[in-house]
């Protein structure tokens, strides 16, 4: 099954973006051509029709899962579907 980008909700796109930044951290930022996470959150948030803070929050949520040097939200369970 192949999904078209239009079949993925704005929320799910934001979640995937947060997951990407949590997993790839600075390498992901550089790969996408951004100089800072604030710049990335703003640009991607605009493109996805999402709040930049939401993308950052999703990154924080996934941080405990990856060895990226960030604690994120380590004291709470990962959000369910």
Taking Cα atoms as reference points, which of 16, 26, 5 lies closest to residue 68?
26
In a domain, 41, yes or no: yes
Where in the sequence is the domain holding 56, given as residue range(s)? 9-65
Task: Name the H helices within 1-81.
Answer: 10-31, 37-48, 52-62
Contact 43, 32 (CB under 8 A): no
CA distance 17 to 59: 8
> 49 is written with which tokens?
């029709």
Does 80 have pLDDT greater than 70? no
Question: Each residue of 14-38: pLDDT tens digit?
Answer: 999 999 999 999 999 999 999 999 9
> pLDDT tens across 52-78, in order?
999 999 999 998 888 888 877 777 776
Helix (H) or strand (E) holding 64: none
pTM for the structure as a whole: 0.85
Domain membership of residue 45 (yes or no) is yes
Total domains in the chain come to: 1
């Amino acid at each position: 099954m192949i999904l078209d980008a239009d079949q993925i909700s704005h929320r799910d796109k934001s979640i995937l973006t947060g997951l990407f930044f949590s997993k790839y951290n600075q390498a992901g930022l550089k790969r996408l051509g951004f100089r800072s996470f604030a710049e990335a959150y703003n640009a991607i948030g605009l493109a996805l029709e999402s709040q930049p803070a939401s993308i950052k929050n999703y990154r924080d949520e996934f941080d405990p899962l990856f060895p990226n040097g960030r604690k994120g939200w380590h004291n709470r369970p990962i959000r369910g579907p």
